[in-house]
Amino acid sequence: MDSENIYKIIQADCLKFLRRRAITNIDLTFVDPPFNQGKDYKYFNDTQPEEKYWSWLQEILKEIYTISTEGGAIYFMQREKNTEHVIRVLREANWVFQNLIIWKKMTSAVPSRYRYSKHHQIIVFATKGKKPRVFNRLRIDPPKAPNHKYERTNGMFVTDVWDDIRELTSGYFAGDEAIRNNRGERVHTQQSPIALLLRIILSSTKQGDIVFDPFAGTGVTLVVASQLKRKSIGIEIDPEYVELIRTRLKSLRPSDSVQRYFSYYRYTHNLTEIWQTPYFSTITQMQIFKDKQG
């Protein structure tokens, strides 16, 4: 691992790489694989027989289990219709279920004629062993719901329903966080938001821990981990995305910054311990400047 940058990007097929057992002591893994839904990946057949697809993922989960620390965490993101498979393959790979997180989307639901419209994606949080080695109980400060009578004074704990993280879509809402080419098109249609990885990494790691992403895509896991002073390892099969990750990490854009979320988490009791960033020195300097100015 590059000690200055504390991240490592590997261009490889993640299962083949994992089988070589070249990495170890992983404290947290974020798994966001292709969903086998017929998308156009250059290096992945996204239209496979179900059984083949799930046993491939199970092999990957088993390998990650072996190289994870005791109590290490895994967050596995998928379409809601696959919840049953996700829970099963994790269990069969020895992971202990902790939460089924509902990531409620902010954009319109996908309509359905015969059932309820779809408005969420799932993330299963599981651990190696019964108890997580780290779980920071984050507090957030979302706007007060209209039916709540009293103002909150110290925020609220994050629950298993995440309805405050905007997905990056093709339209207006993607904002400037989505990476685009010269024609303004998104370079990777599955790019996860900074806010999502921020929550996962803050909840399940301490500084100096190792975070792993076997399907790194645009490198969001590494982008967030490096700002929070966690080490990170990302594997990506597509050389173009690998190049994109390298470029992104060398020069983070303002929209890659985690700082804009700091105040949202300010009521977390151990925030200064788990999120030490230049923010503090900036704030301190601002305060000193203000004091000096009277």
Ligand X SMILES: C[S@@+](CC[C@H](N)C(=O)[O-])C[C@H]1O[C@@H](n2cnc3c(N)ncnc32)[C@H](O)[C@@H]1O
Min dist CB 220 to ligand X, Å, is: 4
> Contact, 56 vs 66, CB < 8 A?
no
Quick check: 238 binds ligand X (CB under 6 A)? yes
Complex with ligand X: residue 134 or 187, whichever CB lies closer? 187
Q: Which is nearer to ligand X, 178 or 274 (CB)?
A: 178
**Measured distance CA(103)–CA(121) in Å, rounded:** 5
Closest distance between ligand X and the C-beta of residue 216, in Å? Answer: 6
Which residue among 44, 261, 262, 267 contacts ligand X (CB under 6 A)? 44
Query: Residue of minimal CB distance from ligand X?
Result: 217
Q: Is 220 in the site for ligand X (CB under 6 A)?
A: yes
Q: Does 14 bind ligand X (CB under 6 A)?
A: yes
Closest CA to 112 of 82, 143, 134, 81: 81
- β-strands 210-213, 231-236: how paired? parallel
Q: Which is nearer to ligand X, 166 or 266 (CB)?
A: 166
Identify the residue among 78, 192, 203, 268 touching ligand X (CB under 6 A): 192
Judged by CB under 6 A, does residue 179 bind ligand X? no
Of the candidate residues 72, 132, 217, 234, the single one contacting ligand X (CB under 6 A): 217
Binding of residue 234 to ligand X (CB under 6 A): no
Separation between Cα atoms, residue 236 and residue 249, nearest integer Å: 14
Q: Are 134 and 206 in contact (CB under 8 A)?
A: yes
Handedness of CA 139, 257, 33, 116 (dihedral sign): positive
Residue 256 lies near ligand X (rule: CB under 6 A): no
Q: Does 190 bind ligand X (CB under 6 A)?
A: yes
Q: Minimum distance from CB of 48 to ligand X (Å)? A: 11
- Of the listed pieces 118-126, 135-143, 236-244, 257-265, which binds ligand X according to CB under 6 A? 236-244
Counting contacts by CB under 6 A, is residue 241 touching ligand X? yes
Kindly state the tokens that stand for 288.
């000193």
Residues that bind ligand X (CB under 6 A): 13-14, 32-34, 41, 43-44, 188, 190-192, 215, 217-218, 220, 235-238, 241
